Each structure stands twice: as structure tokens, then as C-alpha cells.
Structure 1
Amino acid sequence: MKIRTKIVFLVISVITFYIIASLVFTIYNIDINGQLEIEEFEKTEKRKIDKNLESFVELAYSVIETNHKNATDKKYLEYYYGRQLNDVMDVVNNVLKDKYLSFKKGKLSKQLAQQQVINFVKNMRYDNGNGYFWIFNNQKPFPKMIVEPIAPELDGKILDNKNFNNALGTNANPFVVSVAMCDTSGEGYVDYSWYRPSVTDEVLKEESKFSYVRLFKEWNWILGTGIYLEDATKDAMEKTKEDIRQMRYNNGLGYYWINDDKKPTPMLIMNPLWEAGEGKIHTDKKFNCANNSDQNLYQAFLEACERRGSGTVEYVWDKPIKGGETVENAPKSSFVKYFRPFGWIIGSGVYIDDIDKTITAKKDIMEVKKKDMIINSILISVPLGTISILFLIWMMNKHFRETSENREDEIESTINKDEKLLLYGDENKKQSNSKKTEEDLSTNFILKTFIKEQSKLLAFNKIVENATQNSSSNAIEEISKDIKEMTKLLREEIKTINKSKLDNFK
């Protein structure tokens, strides 16, 4: 392979490598930037969804907080339970009035009339047995218990036990406080701790209680009945479930559900779209779909709440669509929050398959851009590379030609002088050399041909030497060594021819 061809091949290889490398680098950047753009889009969209879900869940959470607060707020209890307690109190009060009138009319003795009232109170129950009545008198400084159905050991006792001192969140005696209220307004509300009725023989436990008391002045008796705050809390929970069951957002598509915090698998408490599943623990395999694993969905809700009190859980679920059909295993994201006083986890979710569709569309667009970039790069790079190679070849030919001609003229001028000296330097020998004219002409032709080729090689050798000084390329150094070796051989050949010519002249 000629040296010039080697150089052209080397240049073509370098340009081709540059084009391919640039194309690969461009495609790589498109892929990386596209992937980063898609990831950022996905994160941004999910953050928006999580933020919206959190806002909606906070609305439902505020309902739970309000109802729970009301269950322990005295003014709310008076408003919400006051009428109920007042109505049931009227029942006993009417019996009491009736017995008092029988006594006044002489139909019953006072003792018998009062005993009949006491017997009635002992057996009177409401609210599934949790509601009952008691009677104590209004004597001072401490009243005496007339009848206490769930603590009969107190009947006839003076209510001065210091253990009773827990009314109104202070150390006040609730019976003394009740007497003071009735003396002032004939009735009132008082909160304190008292024993809860038991259907078994178990030891009674004290619970917070909110009671309504009313004075029956004719006998100086005070009637009492109340509601345990735990029952008020249960009522608040029931009310909350029904309130949240009716709540909707996003044109009726958004809803809420509630599960408890029991381990290992929480129980579903309320789901307006799946009432058949309420009150059950769901451990079927279809619920093992949370967080891209086989984790149970309700366990994942609990785990998210245990870590931070709230959180987002991603899973797959069947998505209902128009026409009564469903899309199986559609991606969904839910935000859940823990309400510890009730032991509830309230949550709401939204399907995020639209995000996946958008991401797929973006990936398709990115692929089209990548193909367009490849085609455009080829259309631009190939012509530019071809033009660059042609221009390089033209420049090389021009430079080689000019250098070769200059070198040839220089060498030929020097040789011509030597020829004239050898051929015509002695006029006396002119005749003797005439016989060898034809031979000399042949020799001169051969000599000039070698000189011409030598000049070209020498000129090219000079160019390569210059290139070698400015480049560390192994390929150019190898070419330079070949040229030097060829030049050396040609010089030796010319010397041999010149020497032969001189011998002939001699």
C-alpha cells in the first residue's frame, strides 16, 4: 500500500471514529437527559398527587378530631346528650311525682311511696344497660346515698369518702357539687369518675362520666343519671364513620376508608364502596399487593403510620371504569393518617395509571427525537467528512507536487552541472566521446528518472519528518521509517549509476 494511501486511510479512520463517537455521545446524552426528565416528571406528578390526597385526608381527619373533641367537651356533651338525659330523667321524675301524690292523698305512706320509687330506680335501665339512675339527698356538708343500683354497698352511706373527690377535673366531691348546683338552679351537669355497670361479677372499674342531676324538692332528693365518656367516644366514632362514609371529592370519585391498628393485620372498619368487607380482617392473596411486593395492603397502611404518623402507600388494585368494566391491577397511590385516640387509620387513594400513560408517551417522543437526531447527524456528518477528506487529499497532492517540482529542479540543476563537467569539460576528448553519445543519452534518461523519483521521495520525507516532530502517532512514525529506508536505497542506487557512468567516461 502506497504511503499516500495509508495517510488517507488513517485520516478517513480518524474522521469516521470522530463521527461515530459524536453520534454515540449524542445518543447517550439524549437517553440520560430523557430518563432524568421522565424521572423528574414522575416525581413531580406523584408529589402533586400525594399533596392533593394529603389535603383531602386532612379534611376527613378534621372531622374525626372534632367528633373526638366533642366527646370530651362539656358544652358539647350538654348540647348533644343534655336533651337525651333530660328526657330519660323525666321518666323517673314522673314516677316520683306520682308516688308523692299518692302519699299526699293518703293512698301510700311516705315510707312505702319512697320505697316504691327506690325499687323502680333499682331496676330502671336504658342504653343497652349502660344507662341507669341513682338518688341521694341534699343534706350538708355531705349528702347521703338513697339508692345506687351498681354500688348498693353505698346505700344509706354518707358520701364523704375522699376517693370521690374527682369532680370537674379537681378534688371536688361530685355529690357536694351536685347539691350546690341544685340549690342554685334546681339542676345541673357534672363530670367525674365512677363505676361502670358490669353484667358479670367482675370487679367494677372507674370511668369518666358526664351526669345530669335534678332536685325533687318535696323530699329533698336529687335524681341523677349520666353517660360514660367512653360511650360518648363510641358514639363519636359511630357518628364519624357515618359522616366520612358520606364524604366525596373529585366529582364523587374520591372517597375514604378506615381500618384499625390491630396487629398483625388491621381490620377494615369502613369502606363506602365495599360494605361487605367491613368488620373483617382481609388476608387473601389479592391483598398482597403493596409497595411492589407481596406485602399485605392493610399491613402496609399500618407500617406507614407507625413510622411517621402518616404516609403514602403504592399498590395495584382493580380500577372500575365506565360500562361496569374494570381494569385489573391498575397502579394506585393512597395517603393514610393515624388517629391514635380511636386507633384508626383514615385513608384515601387515586389511580395513577394516567401518569404511566404520560410517561410511556414521553418515552415514545424521546425515541422519535433520538431517531431524528441520528438521521440528522448522519446527513450532516457524512457530507462534511467527505468534503474534509477530499480537501485534505487535494491539499496533499498540491503540496507534494510543488515540493517535488522545486526539489527536482534543484537536484537536476546540480546534476546538469556535473554532467557538463564530465561530458564536455575537456574539449580534446569531445571526438572520442562522440561514439558513446547514444549510450550516454540512455544513461542520462535513467539517471533523470531516478533523480525525479528521489526528489519526490525526499520532499515527502521532509513533510513526514515535520509531521513526526508534531505528532506522537505510531502510524506516522512507521511511515517515516519506511520512507527513510527507501530513500537510502535509492541514494545507493544513484551512486552506483553515477560511479558506473564515470567509469565509462574514464
Structure 2
Amino acid sequence: MKIKGKFISVIVSGVIILGIIVIGISAASLKQRGHTELSMLKKLMLEHREKMLKNLMSNASTILERSYEDIHDPKKLADIYKKQLNIALGVAYSSIEHIYHSMKHLPEAEQKKIAIELLKNMRYNLTDYIWINDEHPNMIMHPFRTDLDGKDLSDFKDPEGKLLFMEMIKVCKEHGEGFVHYMWPKPGHDKPVPKLSYVKLFKPWGWIIGTGVYMEAAEDETKEKVKLIINSLRYGQDGKDYFYIFSTDTRKMLQHPRTELVGADIYADIFTDPDGKHLLTELSKIASESGEGFFSYKCPRIGEVMPVDKLTFVKRFEKWNWAVCTGIYMDDLEEMMIRKKQEIMFEVNAQIRTLSGIVCVIGIFIIFAVSFLINRTVILPVKKAVKCLSDGAGQIALVSGSVLSDSQSLSHSTCEEASSLEETACALEQMASVCHQRADRARSATDMMKEAICISEKVSGQMSDMTGSMNHIS
């Protein structure tokens, strides 16, 4: 392969690898951005729905708070029950007026006796009644507290210390009729509870006729009205999203659009979703521990069977020990997220294709540009260098031939001189051999002389020993 082709192959490979890396990194970045956008969108939509549920719950809480305040405010309670009490008392008052005007032929005492018997047996709302006292005050008639009949009530006080009958006289003297708030036991009970009574003066006989409503009964009645109001609240697609209420005290379902669930225990299996979540137990726990919060579970829409995801917001109304709940079905959100994901991925893939095209165009441009630069800056100079080297190689070949011829002549003369030197070397070797032989003989003579000296020394020593021995003997 020519050098230009090799360079271009390397450049093309590099550009392709670089392009793949750039496209891969960009694609990963775009997909990550798409997932991030999808997550942010889901988070925003979820926050929007949570905010909507809180706003809806705020409206329901306003109804509960106002109803509770109204029922515990004597003035507001009077406004609420004025018509009802006025009607009940109006019937009793009209009956007395009728007796007074139509029975003038009877003595007043007889008229009063007839009126007392009539009002004594008068009832409305099953247990609500009428009583009579005078302006002293003495009890003329009480259908349930007969022990008070005929007694002076001037010093009669309720548990809070209110002189309630004196208060009734004051209201009637000032306005002829009006409301009085005090504590009084319900029929059949001993414990006094708050009561609001409406009294009216019958001047001809100096009677004060009264009837009232117990706050507890009024509160129960208000609760039922509130349940109906909450039950009627609808929102969402086709008005299928609703509110329901259960008691955190009795653990019973108090209100639900599905009437068959009202009165059911919140621990019943019917309140378990397909994933095993005991939804009302969890909602009760959230209401008791946190006061309010969100919980997700699966539940079928009203009139349907298939369970779908639902997000519910629960808030505790502590004054009545109620847990008020409302939720939004989330299946439409999941479908929306799937569609949005497809849209985002389509856009991401389109951007990747566009980026790939741009990278390819840039790569081709780079290849042509680099090829042109290589041709000018590398290939042409290399070709010139190769030509110069070729010319130099020819000249070197000529010089090499001349050197070779001279070398051969020099080699021939060197061989002749080497032969002469070889003969001289042989003669020298012979002379060296003779010298070595003579040296060996000299070394042998020296060794023999050394041995003779040793022997003479031994003999001399023995002679000395013998001389010593002889001297010792003599």
C-alpha cells in the first residue's frame, strides 16, 4: 500500500472512532437529558395534583370548621335553629292563645289546667318538649322534671353558675321572647350538657313558655348535614372523584359514595388493595400521627372493577375525630407519561440522527483537508527525499566498486607478507623449544643439588648426636 493510502487509512479510522465516541457521548447525554426532563415533568405533575388535592381538602375543611364553629357559637346556633324552635314554640303558644280566647266561659284555673295538660304531652323530634314557668320564677310544668313542678327557681343554677330561669325572665321582660344558653341534662340522663332554649312570654297569664335544642343533638344533626355536603362534592373527569370520611375513634366508615361501605370497619378486608396494602389502616395511621398526608394504593373507579393507581390525601378533623379523604386516580397520569416519554425519545433520536449527519459531514471534510495537507506537507517532501537518496545511492555504488578493487590488490600483497611472517614464526618456535628444554635441564640439576644438601644436613645431624652420646658415656 502506498504511503498516502496508509496515512488516509489512519486518518479515516481515527475520524470514524472519534465520530463514534462523539455520537455515543452525545446520545447518552441526550437520553439522560430526556429521562431528566421526564422525571421533572412527572414530579411537577405530581406536585400539581398534590397541590390540587390540598386545595380541595382545604375547601372541605372550611365547611367542617364553619359548621363546628356555628354549632358551638350560641348566636350562630340561634340563627340556625331560630326558625325550627320558633315553629315548635309557635304551635304551643297558639294552643294557649286558642284556649285563652275560646274558653272564656271556663274559670282561668281550668283554662290553665287544660293548657298545661296539652303542652305536657306535646313532642317534636321524638324527644324535644315544652315547659312552662312563670315570672317569679316558679316551675308551672316540666314533662320530665316533675320534681320541680311548683318550686321556686329563683336560685336555681346550672353547673356553670348561671341563674338560667332568672335569665329567661330578663329576656322576656326586655324583648318578649329570645334565646338563653345554659347547661341542662337530656331526658333520661343526669349529666348536664349545653342547651340553647327559646322562650316567649304569654302576658295574660304571666307564663314563660320554653323549648330548646341540646348542643349535642344539634352537633349530631350538623354532622349528618356535613356528611351529605361532603358526599355531594365531586370533581375530576366526569365528576368521578369524591370525598369519604371514616372515624378515627370508632374505626367505622361514616360516609362514602358507595353506600354499602358506610358502617364498615376500616380493618375489613374489603379495604385491602391487590398489592396487600390495608389502605384505611395506613390512612388512619397518617391522620393520627401526622394530622395529614398522602398515600398511594390501587382502587377501582366507582362503577368499575379493574383497580388502578390512586393518590389519596387524608386530613384529620380532630374536633370530631374524623379522617376526611379524597384522591385522584393516577392511571391517566401514567398514560400521559408514556406518551410524553415516546415524544421525548422521538425527539432525542431525531437529534441523534442530525448529530450523526453533522459528524459525518465534518469527518469527510477533515479527511479531505488532512489528505490535502498530507499530500503537500508529507508526500511531496518524501518523494523529493527518496529521489535524492536514489541519486546518492548511485554515487555510493560507484565509489564502492573502486574501493572493492583496491581492497582486492591490498589483500593479495597482504597474503604474501603473511606467508613470510609464518615461516619466521616457525623458526622462532623451534628456538623457543630448545630454550625450554635447556631451562628444564637446569631446573633438574638445581633440584638434585637441593636434595644433596638435605642429605648432608641429615648426616651432619646424626654425627652430632653420636658425638654427644660418646661424651656422655665417657
Tell me the TM-score normalised to structure 1 length: 0.66
Residues 383-442 of structure 1: CA distance to partner in whole angstroms, max 9, x if unpaired? 6446645765675576265246437637965984x777x68xxxxxxxxxxxxxxxx3xx
- 2:350 pairs with 372, 377, 388, which one? 372
CA distance in 1, matches of 2:350, 2:409: 76
- Would you say 1:288 and 2:272 are equivalent positions? yes
For residue 34 of structure 1, report the CA deviation from its aligned partner: 0.7
- 1:191 matched to 2:173? The reply is no
- 1:132 is aligned to 2:129: yes
Q: Describe the shift of the 1:5–1:389 C-alpha distance in structure 2 as closer, same or farther (beyond 3 A).
A: same
Tell me if structure 2 keeps the 8 A contact 1:209–1:228: yes
* Structure 1 residue 191, shift from structure 2 partner: 0.9
Contact 1:102–1:113 (CA under 8 A) maintained in structure 2: no
Aligned to 1:84: 84
Work out the percentage of aligned pairs sharing the same amino acid.
25
> Is residue 2:193 matched to residue 1:214?
no
The 1:255–1:386 alpha-carbon spacing in structure 2 relative to 1, beyond 3 Å, is closer
Q: Assess, with a 3 A threshold, how the Cα gap between structure 1 residues 113 and 162 changes in structure 2: closer, same or farther.
A: closer
Alignment of 1:50-89 (within 5 A): 50-89=50-89
Distance 2:272 2:392 in 1: 98
Distance 1:381 1:144, change over 3 A: same
1:236 and 2:236 equivalent? no
Cα offset, 1:259, TM superposition: 0.9
CA distance in 2, matches of 1:35, 1:252: 32
* Counterpart residue type for residue 299 of structure 2: W
Change (3 A) 1:78 1:365: closer
DSSP-derived class of the 1:280 partner: coil
Which runs of no fewer than 5 residues in structure 1 stay unpaired? 424-439, 445-497
How big is the shift at 1:378?
Answer: 4.2
Match in the other structure for 2:166: 176
| Cα distance in structure 2, aligned partners of 1:113 and 1:48 | 72
The amino acid that maps onto 2:244 is: I
| 1:275 paired residue number | 259
CA drift of 1:120 comes to 5.5
- Deviation, structure 1 residue 190: 0.7
- Unaligned stretches of 5+ residues in structure 2: 411-474
Deviates further, 155-164 or 215-224: 155-164
Alpha-carbon RMSD: 4.2
TM-score by length of structure 2 reads 0.70
Q: Would the alpha carbon gap of residues 153 and 504 (structure 1) be closer, same or farther in structure 2, given more than 3 Å must change?
A: farther
Give the secondary-structure state (helix, strand or coil) at the position aligned to 1:362.
helix
User: Does 1:144 pair with 2:173?
Assistant: no
**Structure-2 separation of matches of 1:360 and 1:47:** 18
* Residue 30 of structure 1, CA deviation: 1.5
Task: Confirm whether residue 332 of structure 1 aligns to residue 310 of structure 2.
Answer: yes
**CA–CA distance in structure 1, aligned partners of residues 368 and 88 of structure 2:** 109
Residues 265/230 of structure 1: CA separation in 2 closer, same or farther (3 Å cut): closer
Cα deviation for residue 310 of structure 1 reads: 4.2
Superposed displacement of residue 123, structure 1 = 4.7
Rate the CA distance shift 1:269–1:101 in 2: closer, same or farther, 3 A: same
Count of residues in correspondence between the two structures: 409
- SS of match in other structure, 2:239: coil
Q: Are positions 1:504 and 2:408 aligned together?
A: yes
Decide whether aligned partners of structure 1 residues 247 and 408 sit closer, same or farther in structure 2, where only a CA change above 3 A counts.
closer
Higher relative contact order (CA 8 A, sep 6+): 2
Larger Rg, first or second structure (1 or 2)? 2
- How far is 1:298 from its partner? 3.0
Q: Tell me how far 1:15 sits from its aligned partner.
A: 3.6
* CA distance in 1 between partners of 2:241 and 2:365 (Å): 68
Structure 1 residues 184 and 264: alpha-carbon distance in aligned structure 2, compared to 1, 3 A threshold: closer
